[in-house]
Structure 1
Amino acid sequence: MLVALGFLMIGTFMFLIMTKKLTPVAALIIVPTVFGLIAGAGLGLGDMVMEAITDLAPTAALLMFAIIYFGIMIDVGLFDPLIRFVLRVFGDDPAKVVVGTAVLAGAVSLDGDGSTTFIVTTSALLPVYLRMGLSPVVLTCVAGLANGVLNVVPWGGPTARAASALGLEPTDIFVPMIPSVLAGLGVVLVFAWLLGLSERRRLRAAGTSMAAPVAVGAAARPGGAGAPAGGGSGGAPGVGGSERGMADTALDPDRPTLRPRLIWFNLALTAAIMVLLVLEPMPIPTLFMIGCAIALVVNFRHVSDQLKELSAHGSSVVSVVAMVMAAGVLTGVLNGTGMVDAMSRWLVGVIPDAMGPYLAVITGLLSLPGTFFMSNDAFYFGILPVLTETAANYGITPVEMARASIVGQPVHMQSPLVPAILLLVSLAKVDLGDHHKKVLWRAAVASLAMLAVGVLTTVIPLG
């Protein structure tokens, strides 16, 4: 009963957001509430939700202050040189810009934090997409794919969880999987190129001038009023502006928030935060709170200007935090009603004894839906140890099982249970359903490519 309710709840949620019957926030609240009551949660539903929200509070704080911090950095001009560099390197060709999106997202993903990756990528490239008339859904798709593949780095969440659950060293899991990671990145680059070619054809068919000299100011920043509300065909370029070249007008060069004299300070502050993110001498939400306060005070001396700057990013903060808190209803019901545990036991139980020698590959395949429909914690601490214990009877080692278990991360990163992906679609003003339509099957292909290369290199045993 709980197994059926769990999968039906997730399926109903996906159907409602992909068909746009409900907004993600409404669906995240209404669907699990209904199914939780059906599962017999009763008045205990409130405690389940509050427990989940308490666990998500640090994530909400991190996203809130990270959005404000990087929003300030966009407004003061820190990313303007990077945007001009991207445009000069990749020119006016949509295909090259989309490939550049994959490269940038992949590079930033090496820090192991999806939220940082998506903030930096959208900060740098969303204005470019809006300038050229490219679909923001393409940006979220490519960034999500690149981050998903590189989410398996040893200091990232899934590899560390697999290592902790099975008593292994993260590097023993990751290093032999490097060829698989490279294969996954290759698949992402191919998809990026094909998506870029598709965008190029769409723009040419629509008669859009991809290099029109348009100034996109602060309104086009992630979450700003200039971003398109939907993700179907992408936002068209704005109107107005000067006759400057495209590389010089990606962001309005005359906006009053620019602080060119403070660019080196802002760069040093941002670099310091990135380093501390890796070293983690203090909780990351606290780190961004302090960084945000410093950036605000140094760049905007007057209290009135500070208030304006905070207000300018209010819509982005509200949309992201609302979605994260709403996701707490879904995770609270999944955990509190016992649905996750029941689903885990069912997944383990449906594997026939005859398939025992193939448990490593089966685990890899299970990781695609398993980590999408449930959290990494539930999969790696609930399902993986049981599968690993069973696999030992067939001579499959724990480290081989751990390697197989991480190939589903490109799919996992698209899950509505992952706050980072909610942040990405919110910043890009893309509908989560539109993102899923474009990204899910591509993420599955990337995961299967990683699994196939793992088998071919024998780091994941087949039989």
Structure 2
Amino acid sequence: MLSLLGFCMMISFLLLVLTKKLSPVVAFVFVAVAFAIIGGFSNEMGQLMMDGIIQVTPTAIMIVFAILYFGLMIDVGLFDPMISRILKYVKGDPLKIVIATALITMIVGLDGDGSSTFMITISAMLPLYKKLGMNRLILSCVVALAAGVMNMIPWGGPLVRAAASLNVEMSDLFIPLIPAMIGGLVWTFFSAYILGKKERERIGVIQIYTESFTEQSSTIEQKKTSPTLFWFNLLLTIALMIMLIMDVLPLQILFAIAFSIALFVNFRDPKAQQEQILSHANNFVLISTLIFAAGIFLGVLNGTQMMDAMAVSIVSVIPEGLGPYLPVLVAITSLPLVFVFPPDAYYFGILPIISETAANFGIDPVEIGRAALLGHSTTGFPLSPLVPATFILIGLSGVDFGEHQKFLFKWAFGTTIVMTIIAVLTGAISF
């Protein structure tokens, strides 16, 4: 009975989200309340939901301070000089331009927001592609590849969702995947090199006055930050990255401390500090609301033992010999599933069931989370018609969606395969 109720709860949520009848936040809450009552758990419902909220609170706190920190660094122009120098260096060489596209995307992608990454990078590079008559499918492809791998960072949406869904520490998901992520970035540069070389062979190197051209055409605005502040912000960011990798303190605390320091140093006036926080309120309010709503949903699903019952049912139909290979199977199938499941449906609907199933075969659920991050909503999200940011990418690039999908798929799937191999070799996922 619990198993059937759990599957009905999951299917109801997925249908409501996939058919866009309700937003994910509303669907999480409505479905949780409805099935708690249907299952006869109305008396315990409040406590179950609070338990779920408490479980995801550390994740919500981390994402708030991460968004505020990188939003501040972008606002004060920390990354602008690097991007400007890259644009001046590439001149009229298609190969250099494509490689620079990947590099700039990676730099801008540090904020963990796919939409802003697409807007900034495409706006900066599109004039060069137009000026040289370069294939804009290459632009959308390389930006998608780089943004996809960068979406694996701890403050990006996929890892936040996976951590909240599985109730695991983000460092347990991310740190073992660092070698795989590096491999994904290397593959991105390799792909950019191959594509750029073909463009260079097709159109040759064209001499243009890049400095004046980029100054007029690029939408990147140079902020007036003193050299002292620039170097302080750079050193602070490097120190933060090192401490994140070393796991010196919980991620939430590191970002909170770093943001507080950066805010105080860059904006001494309390009113200006408040305005800086409010300028990014939309971003962190939306994602935090989603995380807390997911906590309510998962609190009911886990607290009523529905999840356990569903896992037992699935285990009963999975061939015994297939169980040990679940992490690799999840990794390989995670990218194609972006065409079927949006991020919320996959991470909060599908992933918990798979992880519970894997646990019955002696596989740590955190491995399933790592495997999912190798494709779904990372390398695959710029392909999905279910992710709004995808349409920002193709809209700004001026390419056809179908052509973009066909052009990008093999390169994106190649990224997942490369990262999966490295994840297996380094022990991040078992095989």
Q: What TM-score comes out, normalization by structure 1 length?
A: 0.58
CA contact (8 A) 2:76 2:225 kept: yes
Aligned residues: 364
Moved more, 260-269 or 117-126: 117-126
- One-letter amino acid matched to 2:149: A
- Which residue does the alignment assign to 1:250? 219
In structure 2, distance between residues paired with 1:343 and 1:249? 53
- Which residue does the alignment assign to 2:28? 28
Structure 1: unaligned runs, 5 residues or longer: 109-115, 165-169, 198-210, 214-242, 390-397, 415-423
SS in 2 for 1:346: helix
Listed one character per residue, the Cα deviations across residues 213-234 of structure 1 (whole Å, up to 9, x for unaligned) are 9xxxxxxxxxxxxxxxxxxxxx
Structural mapping, 1:172-211, within 5 Å: 186=187
- Which residue does the alignment assign to 2:329? 365
CA contact (8 A) 1:365 1:408 kept: no
In the TM superposition, residue 29 of structure 1 has moved relative to its aligned partner by 2.1
In structure 2, distance between residues paired with 1:403 and 1:62? 22
Listed one character per residue, the Cα deviations across residues 372-424 of structure 1 (whole Å, up to 9, x for unaligned) are 456978755x44353249xxxxxxxx9xx99899544324556xxxxxxxxx9
- Is 1:146 equivalent to 2:149 in the alignment? yes
- Which residue does the alignment assign to 2:242? 275
CA contact (8 A) 1:146 1:185 kept: no
- Is 1:315 equivalent to 2:308 in the alignment? no
In structure 1, distance between residues paired with 2:51 and 2:324? 34
SS in 1 for 2:221: coil
- Is 1:387 equivalent to 2:356 in the alignment? no
- Is 1:64 equivalent to 2:67 in the alignment? no
In the TM superposition, residue 84 of structure 1 has moved relative to its aligned partner by 2.5
In the TM superposition, residue 290 of structure 1 has moved relative to its aligned partner by 1.5
- One-letter amino acid matched to 2:64: M
Structural mapping, 1:294-373, within 5 Å: 294-352=261-319, 356=321, 358-361=322-325, 364-365=328-329, 372=347
CA contact (8 A) 1:6 1:334 kept: yes
In structure 1, distance between residues paired with 2:16 and 2:140? 19
- One-letter amino acid matched to 2:238: A
Residues 100/5 of structure 1: CA separation in 2 closer, same or farther (3 Å cut): farther
In structure 2, distance between residues paired with 1:387 and 1:80? 49
CA contact (8 A) 2:99 2:193 kept: yes
Q: What TM-score comes out, normalization by structure 2 length?
A: 0.62
Listed one character per residue, the Cα deviations across residues 268-289 of structure 1 (whole Å, up to 9, x for unaligned) are 1111111111222222212211
In the TM superposition, residue 5 of structure 1 has moved relative to its aligned partner by 3.7
- Is 1:119 equivalent to 2:105 in the alignment? no
Listed one character per residue, the Cα deviations across residues 94-120 of structure 1 (whole Å, up to 9, x for unaligned) are 999887676677799xxxxxxx95538
- One-letter amino acid matched to 1:285: Q
Identity, % of aligned positions: 28
- Is 1:284 equivalent to 2:245 in the alignment? no
In structure 2, distance between residues paired with 1:44 and 1:15? 26
In the TM superposition, residue 20 of structure 1 has moved relative to its aligned partner by 3.0
Structure 2: unaligned runs, 5 residues or longer: 128-135, 169-173, 199-207, 338-345, 379-386, 394-400
- One-letter amino acid matched to 1:384: A
Listed one character per residue, the Cα deviations across residues 87-141 of structure 1 (whole Å, up to 9, x for unaligned) are 4567799999887676677799xxxxxxx95538776664223554999998996
Residues 442/53 of structure 1: CA separation in 2 closer, same or farther (3 Å cut): farther
CA contact (8 A) 1:102 1:192 kept: no
Structural mapping, 1:152-167, within 5 Å: none
In structure 2, distance between residues paired with 1:48 and 1:149? 30
Listed one character per residue, the Cα deviations across residues 67-97 of structure 1 (whole Å, up to 9, x for unaligned) are 1111111111101123324545677999998
In the TM superposition, residue 13 of structure 1 has moved relative to its aligned partner by 3.0
Moved more, 119-128 or 302-311: 119-128
Residues 7/192 of structure 1: CA separation in 2 closer, same or farther (3 Å cut): farther
- One-letter amino acid matched to 1:276: M
